[in-house]
Structure 1
Amino acid sequence: MQASAQTSANPAATTQEHAQHVTYPETRRDDVVDTEFGQKVPDPYRWLEQSVRTDKDVESWVEAQNAVTNAYLDKLPGRAWFKSEIGKLMDYQRFGIPRKRGNRYFYTYNPGLANQAQLFVRDGIDGKGRMLLDPNTWAKDGATALAGYTPSKQGKFVAYEIQDGGTDWHSVRVLDVATGKKLTDDLKWIKYGGGIEWLGDEGFFYSRFPEVPQGEDYHSLAYNQAVYFHKLGTPQSEDVKVYATPDHKDWGHYMTVSSDEHWGFIFSSVGTDARYQVHVIDLTKGSPAKGWQAKPLVDGFDNSWSLVDTVGNTAWFVTNKDAPRYQVVKLDLASATPEWTTVVAQTDQPIEGASIVGDRMILTYLKDATTRAAVYTLAGKELKDIDLGTLGTAGGFGGKPGDPETFYSFTSFTEPGTIYRLNVDTGAQSVFAKPKLTFDPAQFETKQVFYSSRDGTKVPMFIVRKKGQTGPAPTLLYAYGGFDISLTPGFSATRMAWLEAGGTYALANIRGGGEYGKAWHDGGRLANKQNVFDDFAAAGEYLKGEGYTTPHGLAIQGGSNGGLLIGASLNQHPYLFDAANAAVGVMDMLRFDKFTAGRYWVDDYGYPEKEADWKVLRAYSPYHNLEAGVDYPPVIVTTADTDDRVVPGHSFKYTARLQHLDPNGAPHLIRIETRAGHGSGKPTDKIIQEGADILGFLAYNTGLEVPPPKP
C-alpha cells in the first residue's frame, strides 16, 4: 500500500532510538496457500489459530513471546511509575447505578482496588448498604466476575451472571435477597446478553445457546440461540422453550418484559446491525406450563426497534424507521389493526436512549458525541432539559411508569462517575454517590475540535491535557470507528496517568460509529471502510500539524474493531504514527467469520465469500497488507488466551508476520494475558499491570518522560 506523505527524514528514528534490541522467538511457517477469486493468498501462520488451551505448539509460542515481551518491558524506565500512578488513580469508591425493585435499591460497589465489584442492596433509600455477593472470593486470581444481575420485580430474588476468566460464556445463579441464601438454580450456555427478564417471583425468561462440545467452547461459531423460561427450583433441563427459529440457526433472539409484566417482546436479529424482527406475547394469556403464543409485531430485518415501556395496552418504541437519527413511536397492542404513531420526531441529534419514569419520558441525545437529556410528556411534549452541568456522558435514567424516581451517572474525561437521584415530577436532584479523588480534575481541560478528513468531511475530536499546557507533548490518539458504537467522554485511570505524566490525550469520533446516526455509521463500513482509516490519519496529521504533539511523539491505540483500525493505519501510514497499541484486534479480514462471534460482523465488514466484499477486505486486512522493507514503528499487540469474541489467533498471526518482515527494526511485541478475555471481567490488578505495560511502552517510544518520584 502507498505510504503516507507524512514521512520523516529518518522514519525509523524516535526520541529513544529503540535502544533495546529485540530478538524474536522463531515462528514456524507452514506452506498454506488459499486461492480466492483468482488470487493466491499465503497463510503460513494458520496454525496459530488453534486454541492456547488445547494446542501445545501454540501454548509454547505464547510462552516464548511473553518471555521476550516481559524482558523488554522490565527495562522500561516509566513502567513502575505508571503502575504506581494507575493504582493510586484507581483507588476510589465506584458505585453502579442503583436499580429500584419494590423498596429495595440494588447497586454494585468497589471500595477502590478490589479486583471485582461487589453487589449491595439497601432496604429503603436511607437504609444501610448490605453486601449480597462478593466475587472477590470466587477465584484466587480474582478473574471470576459478576457479569450482570437482575432483581425480580419486587426485589425478593436476584439472578446474577458469573463470568470466569473473561470468557463470553456466562452461567446464572439465583439469590434470596432477604436471607442471602443461594438457590439451587444453575443455568449455563448463556452468551452475548442472556436477557434475564423476571415474571413475578416464579421465574424468568432468558436466552441461551445449545451446549457446545468440550474443547470447542472458545472457538466454535454460536448458532441456534433460543428464548427459554426458567421456573425457580427446577433444573435447566426442564426449562420451557418460548421462541426459537431452527430453520434460521443464524438468527439471535432476546426478550424484554414490560414493567407491569403484561407484555413480552422478542427481538430477533441476524448480525451486529440494529435491525430487528419483533414478536409480542400477551403474558396474561398463558403460563410456564402451557407456554405462550408469540405474535408478529414487526416483520423483516429492516430497522432498529427498542422498547421504551408499556402503559396499559400502549407500547412506546425508539426506532430508526423513516428516521435515521431515531424517533419515538407508539401503538395500541390491543387494536385489531395497530398503527404506529410518531410521539417524538427525529431531530439533528440522534436519540441514544429512552425510558418512562412516573408519567414522564426521558430521552437522551448525542450532541457532538456528548450527552443531552430531556424530559417529555408521554404524548411527546418537551418539558425541559436535565441540567448535566458540563460536557460529558450521562447514562441510566431507568425507572417505571408510576414511580417518578430515577438514577443516572455522569462522567467526563477527568471526572469519574457521580451517581445522581432525580425526581422527574419536581426536578429535584441529589447526589447518591460521589467519589473522593486523589487528583484535582480542575488541573486539566478538555476541548473539542473539528478537523477535515480526506474527502472534506468534518470529524469531531476531543483533546485533553493539563490546563495551561500550550507546547507540543507526546500524544495518545484513540478511536474505534465501527458497529454504530459512539465514543463519548468517560473516565479512565490509565488515561489519567498518561495526562499526569504530561502527555496529551485525543479521542477522534471517526466514521463507522453512531455519533451522528445512520449516515455516520454507513459512511464507515462495508465498501466505505477506507473512510475510517482516512479519518484516523487526518486526526494524526491534525495533531502534528497544529502542534499538539511532538514530531515523533504520536502514539495510537484502539481495541477490538479499533485494533483492526490500528493495524490497517500502520500499514497505510507507517511513518505518520510513532508507536502503537493494537488491542484484541480483528487482523485477518479474510477469515474473521470462521470463529465465535465473527459471523455476526458481516454487517460491518461484508462477506469474505463474496468477491466484491473480499476485494475490499483484502485491500485493508492488517495481516495481509504488511510489507517487507517498511520500517514499521514500535508496536505492542495485546490480547488474552480466553478471548472468545475476537480469538487471539488474529493477534498471533499479525504479530508473527510483522516480526518476520521487520526483524531488525523497532520492537514489535505481543503481550498475551492469561485467564482473561476480550476485556470485560478483567480484575483490577490485571488492569493496572496491563495499563502500566502499555503506557510504559508508548511513553518510552514517544519520548514522554514520567515525573520524578514524589518525596
Structure 2
Amino acid sequence: MTEPNATDPYLWLEQVTDERALDWARAHNEVVVTQFAGSDRFGELERRILDMLDTDTKIAYPARRGRWLYNFWRDAEHPRGLWRRTSFEEYAKRSPRWDVLIDVDALAEAESENWVWGGAAVLRPEQSRALISLSRGGADAKVVREFDMERLAFIDKADGGFELPEAKSELRWIDIDSVYVGTDFGPGSLTDSGYPRIAKRWRRGTELDSAETIFEGEPSDVAVSAGYDRTPGYERHYVGRATDFFNEEVYLVEEDGTLRLLDIPTDASESWYKDWLLIRLKSPWEIADRTYPAGALLATDFERFLSGERDFDIVFTPDAHTSLHGYGWTENHLMLITLEDVQTKLYVVTPSADGWLREPLADTPPMATTSVMNLDPLESGDEFMLTTSGFTNPATLLSSAVGGETRLLKQEPGFFDASGIETEQFFARSDDGTMVPYFVIRHRDLRGTPGPTIMSGYGGFEVSRTPAYSGASGMGWLERGGTWVTTNIRGGGEYGPQWHTSVQKANRHKVYEDFSSIAADLVTRGITTPEQLGAVGGSNGGLLMGVMLTRYPHLFGAIVCQVPLLDMKRYHLLLAGASWVAEYGDPDKPEEWKYIAEYSPYQNVRGDAKYPPILITTSTRDDRVHPGHARKMTALLEELGHTVWYHENIEGGHGGAADNKQSAFQAGLIYEFFTQQLTGGGATDPTA
C-alpha cells in the first residue's frame, strides 16, 4: 500500500478543464476508440442499441398531474429531447397526439448552448407555469427558468420571471407569485458538499438578494431545503435540514415564521397526507414504552402527534425475507410495494375504524420488478399505473384503480432474442456467514458448461437492484452466449435498511466480501471460471470495482469501472464527496482513515501484483463524482505497468452520457471490451 500522506504526483489530473488534463484524456480516448470501437461488430451493436433508444415503440413513461400526462422524449430527430404532454384519454390510444411544450434541440441551437434536460416542476393546480431546469453538458449544476405553458415561452427575468444562474439549486412553488429557493447566494451560502445551506422565500418582481431567509443550516450539513404542501384544508410549509446523507431534521413553518421540529428519528423517512403522518424507520425506535423495529412503517394522526400523543399503528413490519420497497397514497388507500427475497409483492392498505386493512393489490410475475406509479390522490382519485419488467421480459404499463379493472396501456417489444434465456436466483455465503442473493440470466443450454460471465454490483446508499429488462445487455452479451449476473450485496436496501446500515463505515469491507463471495460461488457452481468472469459497476459501484481490482484480482478476467470513486483519501474534498462521509467515514480522522485505507483502491495499487485488464470510464462534466478519481487511477496503473484502458466523455454528467448516441456508444464499448477480454478475442495492451 502506498503511503497515504505521500505527495500525489497526479494531482494535476484533478484540474477538470485544464488543457493539459484534457489533452491527456483525449489521447487515451483515441486508443480506446481504435481498439474497441473500430470493428464492424462494434458498429452493428452500437447501431442496434441506438435504434432501440430512438425507437417510438418504447414506452413513453408519463408523469401524471391531474388530467395531464407529461413525458420527456428523445429519438433520432430529437437527440436532446422534447418535453410534452397529453391527456389520459389520448395517451391510451395506439398513437397518441402530444403537445410539445419545449424542444430542447431547438432551444440549444437558438441560444448556442449545450443544453441537457434537467427536469420540470409544474405549478399546480393551474398547470400554467413550470420551473425548467437545464444543465450544460449534463452536469448536476443547473440553470432554472420559469416557463409560461400557455404562451410556450420562457418568462424573462426583466418581465418578472423566476430565474437562477447555474448552480446546484432548489426552486419550489408556493403559489404563482412566490417560491422557496436554495442556491448559491454568494460566499458562505453553500454547504461543504456544494449544496444550498440557506432556504429563502422569494416573491415575484423582487431581486433574489431581497428574498426572505426562512432557515440557515451549518456548513457541515449536506443541504437545506423548503417546500409547501398545498393539499386543500391541509396546507403546510416545511423545512428540511440534512445533517448528513442519511439524517434530516424536518420542521413545520408556523404562520408567524417560527419553526416546529417534528420529533421523530432523524434517520427515518417521514411523509404526510391529509390527517396521516407516516414514518418509515431505518433503525429501532423506542418511544412511549414500546420499541418499533427498523424497516417498519408507522402511521399516526398528524395533529394528535403534534399535540404530543405517541400512539402509532404499525402498517408494515419487516421479516428476515421481506422489506418495504416503496409506498404512496391514492385518494383513499395506501399502496405498499414489498420485496420478498428481492421479488415484488404489492398490497393495498385502507385506514378504517378497525385499523389498517391490508389486501393483495395484484398478482406479480416472478423474477420481475413491478412498481406502482402515477399516484395523484388530489386530482386522480384511486387511480394508479403499474409497470413491470424482468431480465428477459420487456416492460408493460397498465392502468387501474383500487377495486377496479386493470387494462393494458402500453407494451414494449423485445429488443433481443430471448428465446431459451432463463433467470435463476442463487444465494452465496459471505465471509461472515450471511447468505447473499444474486440472479443469473443465461441460455438454458449453457447449464453445466462454464462460460463468459459479467457480474454487476453497487452495494451502497440503500439502493436496491431488482430485476429489469435491459435490451443493451441482451444484444451485447446474452444473445452472444454470455451469462449476466445481478448481485444484491449488502449496502443496498433489498432486505430493508439494516441490509445497508450494517455495512457502513468500519463494516464497509463486508460489501466487498459479499461481491467476491458471489464471484467464487459462480465458479463453484460451474457457471464460469475466473478467466471468463468480468465485473462492472459505476459510481459507488465503481469503487466496488476498484476494490475488486486491488484486493481480489485473482477472481476476475476483466473489469469495467465507471464514473468511480477511487481515491478515498481525498474523496470528501472533491465536489459532492463531503456528503458521503456518513456512508464511508471521514479520512481526516485517523481512526476512520485506518479502515478506509484498508480498501481505498488508489492507495492500494501495487506494482508487483497481477491485475486483470480494466476499462475505466468517466465524464468531464460529472460534477458529482470528480473525474480526477478515474484519471489518477489510470495514470498510476499505467506507471506501474498494468493493463488499463481509459475513456472520458467530454460531456454527460454523472450518468456518463448526454444523449442517446453517447449512451449507445458507451454501452457498445463495454460489451466489446468484455467480448475481447473474456471470449478469446484478445486486445492489444495499451501500455505495451
Shorter-chain TM range is 0.7 to 0.9
Is residue 529 from structure 1 mapped to residue 508 from structure 2 by the alignment? yes
* Structure 1 residue corresponding to 2:303, chosen from 328, 333, 337: 333
| Contact 1:114 1:684 survives alignment (8 Å) | no
Task: Please say if 1:353 is aligned against 2:317.
Answer: no
**What's the offset of the Cα at 1:237?**
4.2
Cα contact 1:92–1:437 (8 A) shared by 2? no
Residue 472 of structure 1 is aligned with which of 450, 453, 457? 450
1:668 equivalent to 2:644? Answer yes
For the 8 Å contact 1:478–1:556, the answer to whether it is kept is yes
Which residue among 223, 248, 252 is the counterpart of 1:252?
223
Matched, 1:684 2:676: no
Partners of 1:87 and 1:443 lie apart in 2 by 25
Task: State which of 342, 353, 362 in structure 2 corresponds to 1:369.
Answer: 342
Map of 2:70 onto structure 1: 106
**Aligned residue in 2 for 1:709:** none
Aligned length: 648
Give the structure 1 partner of residue 432 of structure 2: 455
CA-CA distance at 1:255 after TM superposition: 3.5
Give yes or no for contact 2:169–2:184 (8 Å, CA) kept in 1: no
Change (3 A) 1:67 1:630: same
Name the amino acid aligned to 1:480.
Answer: Y
Query: Are 1:47 and 2:12 matched, yes or no?
Result: yes
Is the deviation greater in 605-614 or in 146-155? 146-155
TM alignment of 1:639-650, pairs within 5 A: 639-650=618-629
- Whole-Å Cα distance in 1 between the matches of residues 85 and 661 of structure 2? 26
CA distance in 1, matches of 2:87, 2:135: 27
Q: Distance in 2 between matches of 1:455 and 1:142?
A: 53
Deviation at 1:176, TM superposition (A): 2.6
The structure, 1 or 2, with the larger RCO (C-alpha pairs under 8 Å, 6+ apart) is 1
Quote the Cα distance in structure 1 between the aligned partners of 2:99 and 2:64: 15
Structure 1, 170-179 or 119-128: larger mean CA deviation: 119-128
Deviations 1:578-624 (A, max 9, x none): 01101111110111100111001111110111112111111111111
CA distance in 1, matches of 2:392, 2:681: 21
Alignment of 1:281-680 (within 5 A): 281=253, 285=255, 292-298=257-263, 302-307=266-271, 309-311=272-274, 313-320=275-282, 321=285, 322-333=292-303, 335-339=306-310, 341-348=312-319, 349-379=322-352, 380-395=356-371, 396-401=373-378, 403-424=381-402, 426-441=403-418, 443-470=420-447, 471-497=449-475, 498-550=477-529, 552-663=531-642, 667-679=643-655
- Aligned equivalents of 1:237 and 1:681: distance in 2? 35
Provide the C-alpha distance between the structure 2 equivalents of 1:704 and 1:82, rounded to a whole number of angstroms: 19
- What residue in structure 2 maps to residue 19 of structure 1? none
Q: Counterparts of 1:211-250 in structure 2 under 5 Å?
A: 211=186, 221-222=193-194, 224-232=196-204, 236-245=208-217, 247-250=218-221
Q: Answer whether contact 1:511 1:531 (CA < 8 A) is retained.
A: yes
Shift of 1:113: 7.7
Between 453-462 and 253-262, the greater mean CA deviation after superposition: 253-262
Specify whether residues 203 and 97 from structure 1 end up closer, same or farther in structure 2 by C-alpha distance, changes over 3 A only: farther
The whole-number CA distance in structure 2 between the counterparts of 1:540 and 1:305 is 34
Pairing 1:120–2:84 present: yes
Unaligned segments of structure 2, at least 5 residues: 92-96, 286-291, 683-688
Counterpart residue identity of residue 323, structure 1 = P
Output aligned runs, 1:80-95, within 5 Å.
80-93=43-56, 94-95=58-59
- Counterparts of 2:25 and 2:606, CA distance in 1: 24
Q: What TM-score does the superposition give when structure 2 sets the normalisation length?
A: 0.87
Question: 1:501: how far off?
Answer: 1.9
2:492–2:500: 8 Å Cα contact kept in structure 1? Answer: yes
Measure, in 1, the Cα distance between the counterparts of 2:166 and 2:267: 26
Shift, 1:378, TM fit:
2.8
Which of 157, 180, 194 is the aligned partner of 1:205? Answer: 180
DSSP-derived class of the 2:364 partner: coil
Q: 1:158 aligns with which of 130, 138, 142?
A: 130
The 2-side partners of 1:142 and 1:683 are apart by 15
Q: Take 2:553 and 2:237, find their aligned partners in 1: how far apart are those partners? A: 52
Moved more, 470-479 or 396-405: 396-405
Deviation, structure 1 residue 366: 2.3
Give secondary structure in 1 for the equivalent of 2:603.
Answer: coil
Shift of 1:690: 1.2
Equivalent residue, structure 1, for 2:98: 129
Instruction: Tell me what 1:170 maps to.
Output: 142
Could you tell me how far apart the structure 2 residues matched to 1:99 and 1:259 are? Answer: 19
**3-state SS of the aligned residue for 2:521?**
helix
Whichever residue aligns with residue 468 of structure 2, its letter is G
The RMSD of aligned alpha carbons is 2.9
Aligned to 2:685: none
Residue identity opposite 1:545 in structure 2: T
- Kept after mapping to 2: 8 A contact 1:143/1:675: no
Q: Report what 2:289 is aligned to.
A: none
Whichever residue aligns with residue 6 of structure 2, its letter is V
Once the two structures are TM-superposed, the CA of residue 508 in structure 1 deviates from its matched residue by 0.9
Alignment equivalent of 1:693, drawn from 641, 654, 669:
669
2:119 is aligned with 1:148 = yes
Distance in 2 separating the partners of 1:233 and 1:490: 47
Q: CA deviation at 1:136?
A: 3.0
The residue identity in structure 2 corresponding to 1:327 is: L
**Mean alpha-carbon deviation: is it higher for 379-388 or for 86-95?**
86-95
Q: Distance in 2 between matches of 1:193 and 1:461?
A: 38
- Once the two structures are superposed, what CA deviation does each residue of 1:245-292 show, in whole Å capped at 9, x if it has no partner? 2x455241234433506013322212222x22110135xx47xxxxx4
User: Aligned in 2, Cα 1:693/1:342: closer, same or farther, shift over 3 Å?
Assistant: same
Assess, with a 3 A threshold, how the Cα gap between structure 1 residues 211 and 193 changes in structure 2: closer, same or farther: closer
Which residue is equivalent to 1:20? none
CA contact (8 A) 2:417 2:479 kept: no
- Counterpart residue number, 2:94: none
Alignment counterpart, residue 240 of structure 2, candidates 250, 261, 267: 267
Write the distance in 1 (CA, Å) between the matches of 2:507 and 2:38.
42
User: TM-score under structure 1 normalisation?
Assistant: 0.84
Classify the secondary structure of the residue corresponding to 1:582.
Answer: strand
SS of the residue aligned with 1:678?
A: helix
Matched position secondary structure for 2:121? strand
8 Å contact 2:52–2:415 — kept in the other structure? yes
Deviation at 1:359, TM superposition (A): 0.6
Contact 2:342 2:466 (8 Å CA) reproduced: yes
- Between the two proteins, what is the percent identity of the paired residues? 25
- Which residue type is aligned with residue 369 of structure 2? T
Structure 2 contact 64–70 (Cα < 8 Å) conserved = yes
Q: Do the aligned residues in 2 keep the contact of 1:105 with 1:123 (CA within 8 Å)?
A: yes
